[in-house]
Copies of this chain bind each other. A is one copy, B any other.
Amino acid sequence: MESKNKNDLLQKFSQLEQPLLDEILAQSTIKRLEEGEEALRTGQYIKSTVLLSKGLLKVYREDEEGNEFLMYYLEPGNACALSMMCTARDEQSQIRVKAVDESDIILIPSHLSELWLAKYKSWHNFVIASYRQRFEELLQTLDSIAFKGLDERLIFYLKRHLKVSGKEVKLSHQQIAHELSSSREVISRLLKKLEQTGAVTLHRNYIEVHDLDLV
């Protein structure tokens, strides 16, 4: 493992105890994902716990007809809670993980991950905390779908997108519509409304966000 990655690891996962970090460095492999590349689903990581040391991953759901919706984003220092849980992937639940930016993921063989639960308190806490956090985010997504209209869901979507990217959303209306499993025209119209309130400024292929709480 190159020293660049070592540094990343130490920085991003500083809450883990030193002996554990040493083990991770020694026993895990790193995989670089190019922008747009898909983790999981290739069948090779399913027996691994996945940590993200660099980049940005998006975790989303896809149904038979190709509709999708965003579950949440993973940032460096996060673990893919699903990868911990779904050792015996039974195909039918289509969760996809895609690299938004070029990313480095750390693959920990799941037997080690399990072993460490007992051996390292900090690992145990980390795993539990990861579950919790993802679950909470998933519930927020769920809420917005179940209780809110598309206008509020769009704002929720933009807000979450901002948290992980900059102040600009570099997506076309089409892409946004797809991630909200809606249609392009509807999103365009809603965005237009947002622009009229001064919350955003629309450009081709990106949206400049000023203040989403104006609405």
For A133-157 the 0/1 string (1 means CB < 8 A from B) is 0011011011101110000000000
- Chain A residues with a Cβ closer than 8 Å to the other chain, count: 28
B contact residues around A215 at 8 Å (CB): none
Q: Are B138 and A138 in contact (CB under 8 A)?
A: yes
Do most interface residues of chain A lie in helix, strand or loop, or is the interface mixed? Answer: helix
Q: Are A146 and B147 in contact (CB under 8 A)?
A: no
Q: For the complex, what is the distance from the CA of A139 to the CA of B93, rounded to whole Å?
A: 8
Closest residue of chain B to A142 (Cβ to Cβ) is B142
Q: Are A63 and B132 in contact (CB under 8 A)?
A: no
Q: Are A145 and B143 in contact (CB under 8 A)?
A: no
Contact A93-B181, Cβ < 8 Å, known A124-B114, A145-B142, A147-B67: no
Closest residue of chain B to A92 (Cβ to Cβ) is B136
Q: For the complex, what is the distance from the CA of A86 to the CA of B134, rounded to whole Å?
A: 12
